[in-house]
Structure 1
Amino acid sequence: MTDARPRAETPGPSDHSDPTTRRELLRAAVWLGLGSAIFLAWTLSETLLLIIGALVFAAMLDGGARLLGRILPIGRGWRLLIVCLGVLGFLVWTVYFAGASIAGQFDMLRATILQQSTRLLAWGHQVGIITGGDQFNRIAQQLMGSIGKVTSAVGTAFGALSSLAMIVVLGLFFAVEPRLYERGVAWMLPMAKRDRFYDTSAKLGRTLRMLMAGRLLGMAVEGVGTWALLAIGGVPMAGLLGILTGLLAFLPNIGAIVSGVLIVLVGFSQGVETGLWAVGVYCVVQILDGYVIVPMVARRSVDLAPALVLGAQLLFGGLFGIIGLALADPIVAMLKVLLEERSRASADTARHDLLTPAG
């Protein structure tokens, strides 16, 4: 009677001792983990953006405390408290002294934009740019509907206060004890990689501080400069336009376009001379910010290409809304620092392998 068993047994899926099986299981685990990570990142994208926003806010507070340390030889905690009280005092002063008058100007601004947009569409219809009465009416209705949506979104912006409060609270925790959280992340890394992690973390913090310092400086220059120059030229709602321009300056490229449209529409509502003055004000402010402030900050932080920033804003804005749009610039800056450090680490490792003689 012959033996029916095969001469050479091959390992099956349940046999984990075979190197091939272990390798395939490892590959499957890696792909499964990668897919799970992508799914969790997409599901928790809003939470992750809130954490990134808190890090950006903490970088601004830390930058203010470091700047204050150059003139006040006191502890970091006291300097951070002074910065927080200064920010709170500025917000209270703005709401108390300018809140009532500016709140009344919002309706006036909305009516002015609608009126000027209708005039612009009518002019386009007269010169032949827009043909067909039905098409003109559809464009006007869509424009008014879009502006209505924007106005309603602004009116319901108070619904985002919970997210803003969370960013502020997390940012305060990060700013008070940054080393605690930095050591906590480093604890999860191998000992050999912790020094490089600390170096990368320091460069990320410096990049965010410089980027936000330039952003705040640009917001102040554009807001105050727009308000002052528009007020000199007799443009109505100069205070509101200055505040909107300063706030929109936090969004590079896109914010400048939106604020420019608002300024020009309001300016031409008072006549051609006032409109030309508004155009000149917008050009002067943007040239000062684009050719003086931005290059000065870029030399000390990460120099980001405008097309890269605009593309990231469109991408993050389409995926995550206004929060993604606002945080696109800091996220791109952090990614650039991480990629540069990773490339530098790979180059150092390759150089070390070349210089180390083979055993």
Structure 2
Amino acid sequence: MTKAKGSATGPEQPGPTEFRDPRLAYEVKRAAIWLGMALAIVGVIVLAQPIMLIIGGLVFAVILDGGTRLLGRVMPAPRGIRLTLVTLAGFGFVAWVFYYAGTTLIAQAETLRMVIMEQANRLLAWAQSMGLVDKGQRFDFSNQVLGGVGRLTSAVGSAIGAVTSLLMVVVIGIFVAIEPKLYDRGVAWMLPLENRASFYEISNRVGFTLRRLMAGRLLGMFVEGIGTWLLLWWAGVPMAALLGLLTGLLAFIPNIGALISGVLMVAVGFSAGVEQGLWAIAIYFIVQNVDGYLIMPYVARKTVDLAPALVLGAQLIFGALFGILGLFLADPIVAAIKTTLQELSRTKSGAKTGANSLAEAEAAQRPAARPSSGRRRARPA
């Protein structure tokens, strides 16, 4: 075995990249972990919009996957055919809304904007007469609405940015829905072997929860939209079709969406008269109670029970951090996090219970100790 040759001044010494001291190596690992966490936080802040687009694509993939599985119960066809039919049906419905009902809704949308501005000015005048607001203050509806939107709204606020973001969400969702197991295996490949089985279980449970949650959300949107349209049309409230469509779309956002649709409904109702305004208030409470006490409790029992205050707090936080996308995706994100934590807790509890059962079984198999008689045998001399 050859020895390292020494230099003119003595034997070779270790360089600065050789961490032979265990304490130094430990400190370097700790520094690397803290640096990695800091870089991860900075990456989330800088890449907030792409991350939310990816999450939106995953949620859209869950919706497509749920529709494909539901269609498979009545149509024994390959998954690719069922996924194609579900995708085409979804795009067909959107096309019908925009092309066949678009002209009427656009005309009503302009009327709705004028009605909301008029009602807001009336409310401001009443507040000024009561001394609640300064008389020189004006009400700018657009600035008040857009002022509360998060930091990322400017990136997707333009029409081109919104269409591009929506296209990216759709493309990601379709690619993931075509072969979801491929992406599960890709994420599991980066995990240790002993953790992959647990990851697959958590992934399946989160997917199941989100499918049920999105199915319930779509059912609530349909019931609220159709119910609001029919009841407002029966009560003689103007723009019933537009209000029904907006109520159905805003039902995707729990809590906040219901408040916005209720304000619009009541404002339009009172613009036509006191009787229509009272009918609008009654219809709003009827529709919200049906959704809140019949549909949502059933969905919560089938998926994960989310407290309303928890969802509202998450919407405020995600809306402030990630803009309008965070507001839309707060509900599924919280459901996924809660399901993951529940599965991790259940796995640890199961492992602990299994270890205790194994210890009890081993203790039961051991021979029982003989009770002592209290007297010793006399030893032979």
TM-score relative to the length of structure 1: 0.89
Q: Aligned-pair RMSD on alpha carbons? A: 2.3
Residue identity in the other structure for 1:50: L
Distance (Å, rounded) in 2 between the aligned partners of 1:293 and 1:31 = 45
CA contact (8 A) 2:232 2:280 kept: yes
CA contact (8 A) 2:225 2:244 kept: yes
1:332 positional shift? 0.4
Distance (Å, rounded) in 1 between the aligned partners of 2:345 and 2:233 = 51
- Which structure 2 segments of 5+ residues have no match? 1-13, 363-381
Distance 1:159 1:166, change over 3 A: same
1:197 positional shift? 0.9
Q: Tell me whether 1:102 sits opposite 2:116 in the alignment.
A: no
- 2:85 is matched with 82
Deviates more, 1:317-326 or 1:153-162: 153-162
- Which structure 1 segments of 5+ residues have no match? 1-10
CA contact (8 A) 1:54 1:168 kept: yes
In structure 1, which of residues 285, 288, 297 is the aligned counterpart of residue 290 of structure 2?
288
Q: How does 1:57-136 map to 2 (within 5 A)?
A: 57-126=60-129, 128=130, 130=132, 135-136=134-135
Count residues in correspondence: 342
Distance 1:156 1:100, change over 3 A: farther
Q: Tell me whether 1:141 sits opposite 2:139 in the alignment.
A: yes
In structure 1, which of residues 247, 265, 268 is the aligned counterpart of residue 267 of structure 2?
265
- 2:244 is matched with 242
Distance 1:204 1:328, change over 3 A: same
CA contact (8 A) 1:215 1:249 kept: yes
- 1:318 is matched with 320
Distance (Å, rounded) in 1 between the aligned partners of 2:330 and 2:146 = 26
In structure 2, which of residues 323, 327, 330 is the aligned counterpart of residue 328 of structure 1?
330
Q: How does 1:141-220 map to 2 (within 5 A)?
A: 141-143=139-141, 145-146=143-144, 156-220=158-222
Of structures 1 and 2, the larger Rg is shown by 2
1:355 positional shift? 5.0
CA contact (8 A) 1:114 1:144 kept: no
Q: How does 1:288-307 map to 2 (within 5 A)?
A: 288-307=290-309
Distance 1:214 1:88, change over 3 A: same
SS in 2 for 1:198: helix
TM-score relative to the length of structure 2: 0.84
1:236 positional shift? 0.8
Residue identity in the other structure for 1:136: K
- 2:255 is matched with 253
Distance (Å, rounded) in 2 between the aligned partners of 1:159 and 1:32 = 33
CA deviation profile, 1:222-278 (whole Å, cap 9, x unmatched):
111111111111111111111111111110000000000000000000111000000
Distance 1:46 1:76, change over 3 A: same
Distance (Å, rounded) in 2 between the aligned partners of 1:205 and 1:144 = 38
CA deviation profile, 1:288-333 (whole Å, cap 9, x unmatched):
1000110010011011000000000000001111000000001000
Distance (Å, rounded) in 1 between the aligned partners of 2:256 and 2:147 = 18
Distance (Å, rounded) in 2 between the aligned partners of 1:86 and 1:54 = 18
CA deviation profile, 1:158-185 (whole Å, cap 9, x unmatched):
5311011001001000101111111111
1:148 positional shift? 8.2
1:144 positional shift? 6.1
